[in-house]
């Protein structure tokens, strides 16, 4: 009896692990432009699954390293949506600068180390309407 209970528990644990890893790898989110803002590029689809080897705090830098429900544009950190001057365009509060510096910067660092990395060109990330 004890042996079969252990086998059942192991099977359930394996099934749960498989289901969690499958949903984690498939988790994507649309990094959409703020409502009412016109941009030249399409929105970006971000895959958490492709980034699962990274520490959460690398992107969610103010969350203590845990995933958060709010996006960068909603937390008050990167909430400047319209820029009128070159200085504002270079301000990290400008949501496009924050994403571009973080995403492209990380992808470029991987390429410098001759490791597989993500795209560093516009069309490589901006694939969705």
Tokens of 105: 């910067």
Predicted local distance difference test score (pLDDT) of residue 99 = 87
- The 3-state DSSP composition of the chain as helix, strand, coil percent (nearest 5) reads 45, 10, 45
The residue written with tokens 């009128």 in the block is 84
Least confident segment among 60-69, 73-82, 93-102: 60-69
> In the sheet where 43-47 sits, what is the strand order?
28-31, 43-47, 126-128
More confident residue, 62 or 48: 48
Predicted local distance difference test score (pLDDT) of residue 15 = 43
Residue 20 clears pLDDT 80, i.e. is over it: no
pTM as predicted? 0.64
Predicted local distance difference test score (pLDDT) of residue 3 = 52
Predicted local distance difference test score (pLDDT) of residue 88 = 92
Predicted local distance difference test score (pLDDT) of residue 107 = 93
* pLDDT > 90 fraction of the chain, expressed in percent and rounded: 18
CA-based nearest residue to 30, from 112, 113, 125: 125
User: In this structure, are residues 56 and 65 in contact, taking their beta carbons and an 8 Å threshold?
Assistant: yes
């Amino acid at each position: 009896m004890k042996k079969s209970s252990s086998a059942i528990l192991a099977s359930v644990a394996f099934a749960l692990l498989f289901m969690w890893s499958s949903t984690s790898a498939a988790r994507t989110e649309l990094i959409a432009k703020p409502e009412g803002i016109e941009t030249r590029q399409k929105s970006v689809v971000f895959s958490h699954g492709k980034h699962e080897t990274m520490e959460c705090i690398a992107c969610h830098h103010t969350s203590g390293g845990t995933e958060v429900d709010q996006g960068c544009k909603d937390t008050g950190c990167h909430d400047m949506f319209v820029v009128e001057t070159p200085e504002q365009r270079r301000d990290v509060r400008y949501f496009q600068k924050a994403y571009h510096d973080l995403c492209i910067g990380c992808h470029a660092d991987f390429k410098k180390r001759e490791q597989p990395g993500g795209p560093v060109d516009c069309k490589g990330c901006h694939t969705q309407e």
